[in-house]
Amino acid sequence: MPRAQPAASHWEVIHLHAGAAAKPPFGAACNGCGVCCATEPCPLGMILSARRRGACAALRWNPAGSRYSCGAVSAPATVLPAVLRPLAPLFGRLARRWISAGSGCDTTLTTHPDDAGIEA
Q: What does the domain layout of the chain look like in residue ranges?
A: 35-104
Contact (CB, 8 A) for 37 and 94: no
21 Cβ contact partners less than 8 Å away, ≥ 6 residues apart: 31, 32, 33, 66, 67
Give the integer Cα–Cα distance in Å for 29 and 16: 19
Give the integer Cα–Cα distance in Å for 76 and 72: 4
Handedness of CA 61, 67, 70, 71 (dihedral sign): negative
Give the integer Cα–Cα distance in Å for 69 and 108: 19
Q: What pTM value is reported for the model? A: 0.80
pLDDT tens digits along 9-57: 567 888 899 999 999 999 999 999 999 999 999 999 999 999 999 999 9
Q: What are residue 43's phi and psi, to 5 degrees?
A: -55, -40
pLDDT tens digits along 92-112: 999 999 998 888 998 988 887
